[in-house]
Chains A and B, each alone.
Chain A
């Protein structure tokens, strides 16, 4: 019942997004501009070999993080701005709204990652030695970013400042998973999977689990405030 309603919310958002393409265009354009800037300013050859894993990991996650900050508040802010939130509040179970929006943000971030990550690897000649670890870090980092962003988006959509507040509130919450994701990416770039790499994955996994559960529990209070 909840899952079916969540699927309906997800499909509705996807359909609206497909017809307007506002969020995905903004996200991809932004990500691409930053990629060009980074590629031009830093480039593959500017860095010494030992600097590459560290700097490239940080740059990759900065690109992904700022892309998320430009686009992931859209779906909730839209509901409040166009006034459709009231009808949704009345008709849909709160849990299904959160789940649907979370899925939508995951899909959006997934598309951005699918475009940005290969491009980044190519533009920066950034080699990955442990692809399995790298994919795990990307996936778990993406879930963490999407979960925290979705919840914060629900909060800021009810304030007057909306977009301006989104990054301010989301950044401190996202720093722990980003630090872990950067560390994990660095390890994946330099060598085979190691205990430290697993540590990063474990940390991301714990963060994701905790963040999804907590925002799920708190969402009702925010949504029907």
Chain B
């Protein structure tokens, strides 16, 4: 599926944050979004995720095989994965319980092995974290868990906003691995100022 943005812009009251912008993601490719602090990267990603209404224009999902088939981004449950600084998981639940909850509300019942595999894939030790509530994790560990959450539903489009923040060397490798994994499944929008991460992008939009 392609994520298509047409003349999208967003304002808060009188203040225009970004846009109007038009672009589309392609399966197997990574779209980089660059721009200085305050240029609206985070807001753009939220609009793409359907978490914010665009002030003008539209964001739609399009079946790659059938151009013209259009789904509003808000109606496409599970098609979009999102990891961003304003994403928070439940502090009182353990990492596995968090992932299990989000899978359940999306209508799936993952087994314990699947959950632990997901947790291990971002470099966390599922056995050691089994009885630890998420609020006791370090900031970097939480960032990794958020990455695991973002690909939980095997999304067609993965939106990553500063995915490498607070991560160590191994964490950055986990980001690279997740981007590579997503290429095989769909497309990636990667909003970042990290040159190493931007190097993963095939195309680039600068705000």
The residues of A with any CB-CB pair to B shorter than 8 Å are: 1, 4-5, 8-9, 12, 15-16, 19-20, 82-84, 86-93, 96, 224-225
Contacts and interface: CB of A to CB of B under 8 A. Distances in A.
Contact of B51 (A89, A92, A96): A89
20 contacts: A1-B107, A5-B104, A5-B105, A8-B101, A15-B93, A16-B90, A83-B86, A84-B88, A84-B89, A84-B90, A86-B46, A86-B88, A87-B87, A88-B105, A89-B51, A90-B49, A90-B80, A91-B78, A96-B105, A225-B53
Interface residues of B, number: 29
Nearest to A224: B74
Interface in B85-142: 86-93, 97, 101-102, 104-107, 133
Interface string B20-31: 000000000000
> Main SS of chain B's interface residues?
loop
Interface of B: 46, 49-51, 53, 74, 77-78, 80, 82, 84, 86-93, 97, 101-102, 104-107, 133, 149, 153
A90 B157 CA distance: 13
A83 B107 contact: no
A5 B107 contact: yes
> Main SS of chain A's interface residues?
helix
Contacts of B88: 82-84, 86-87
B109 to A, nearest CB: 9
B92 A90 contact: no
A179 B90 CA distance: 39
B75 to A, nearest CB: 10
A8 B77 contact: no
Given A12-B93, A16-B92, A86 B86 contact: yes
Contact of A82 (B49, B91, B149): B91
Contacts of A4: 104, 107
B100 to A, nearest CB: 9
